[in-house]
Amino acid sequence: MDQEISDNNISEDQTSDQLAEEEVTTYKDNNNMTLFRWQSLVSNSMITKKVKNSLNDWKRNIKTNVKFEIKSNDKCLVTITDQNKDKVVVTKEKFNQLIINSRRLRPFTHLITVPFISDSLKDEFNQFKDNILTNFVSDGNRIDEYLFQKTFKLHLTVCVLVLLNDNEILLAKKLLRDSLDQIINPVLNGKPLKVTLEGLQVIKGQQERAHVVYAEVKEETNTLQTIADQIVNKFIKAGLLGDCGDNTVKLHVTFINSLFRQRALIKQNTENKKRIKRETFNAKEILDFYKSYKFSEYIVKCIQLNEIKSITSEGFYGFVDGIDLPQD
């Protein structure tokens, strides 16, 4: 029988990321046999029946020992042991992939954002919106005021996250704060990060049947792109992303989205909300007119960790943590 795991071996306050980064270790069992071991402390909600069944099938095939031990109401300690180190490593990788896949099926809870909020940008966006509603609305293009993003919610999404407990939120906050010294300061070197919103594009689909219209974030250097991509990589390594997708962040700010209209109409008509569908709109004339339009230069003020289902008093996504960028 394996020797018991003591508090000196592992702390319940350790995050799954910290444990996942540990190397496979060795220890002696009660028969003085040397075994290899890897451990991970994860949220109980991630250890689904599907994860357990898949891992149990896997361990039967390669004959490793996998144990699930409930440490508290929201934590489960997963221990993988074997006489063969390679088997432990392979099973560890299998387990990590199962957890990543399980996380991808969960609703997004948080996101890393770059808010695009300033008085000048608000004025420009309102002028943009008024111009479209005044000059580009027709019976056939299905354009109305409900499609537009709120000025107090303009932002660039760096990545979306699935954070399932307080430990994972603390880890996400730490990763973001560490990004200031590890990523941002070396790149900016104390200088402000200046960008512009330029031109409009449609996400996928045809211009005549659009769901999302966005402004591209342009910069003379590749600074914001570098920062965003490296932050995403940190969260990928921590296993917290809800959707890994492409590691390269698409720098854009959504201006118009058919989802905004659907949500607004559902709020107005809750009894028939299942009948309210997301409908496309014809964006061709808007895109032709604003194809090369440049909004004013914007100095990025901060990068934030936000909670999706809460809002601040100003109407932005709920603030969890953030880092300020140089302004002078």
Q: How confident is the model at residue 99, as a pLDDT? A: 80
pLDDT score at 111? 96
Indicate the Cα dihedral angle 16, 21, 24, 26, nearest 10°. -80
Q: How would residue 245 be classed by pLDDT, with cut points 50, 70 and 90?
A: low
- The rounded distance, in Å, linking the Cα atoms of 257 and 156 is 14
Contact 23, 80 (CB under 8 A): no
Mean pLDDT, the chain, as a whole number? 86
Select the more confidently predicted residue: 63 or 155.
Answer: 155
User: Under CATH, to which class is 110-324 assigned?
Assistant: alpha beta
Q: Is 129 exposed, middle or buried (CB count within 10 Å of its CB: 0-12, 13-18, 19+)?
A: middle
pLDDT at 4: 29
Burial environment of residue 71 by CB neighbours within 10 A (0 to 12, 13 to 18, 19 or more) = middle
pLDDT of residue 15: 42
pLDDT at residue 242 is higher than 80: no
pLDDT class of 72 with cuts at 50, 70, 90? low
pLDDT tens profile 45-59: 777 777 878 877 777
DSSP state letters, 26-85: EEE-TT--EEEEEEEEEEGGGS-HHHHHHHHHHHHHHT-EEEEEEEETTEEEEEEEES-H
Kindly tell me if the per-residue pLDDT of 303 is higher than 60: yes
Q: Which residues contact 31 (CB under 8 A, 6 or more apart)?
A: none
Token representation of residue 308: 């999706």
Query: What is the pLDDT at residue 14?
Result: 42
For domain 16-104, is the CATH number 3.40.50.410? no
- Alpha carbons within 13 angstroms on the beta-carbon side of residue 328 total 0
3-class SS of residue 317: strand
Cα separation of 59 and 42, whole Å? 19
**Closest by alpha carbon to 210, among 253, 257, 252?**
257
Q: Domain limits of the chain?
A: 16-104, 110-324
Poorest-pLDDT segment among 155-169, 259-273, 287-301, 314-328 = 259-273
pLDDT for 176: 97
Q: How far apart are CA 158 and CA 111, in angstroms?
A: 7
Q: What is the DSSP string of 146-182?
A: GGBPPGGG-EEEEEEE---SHHHHHHHHHHHHHHIII
- Using DSSP's 3-state secondary structure scheme, residue 282 falls into coil
pLDDT in tens, 229-238: 999 999 988 8
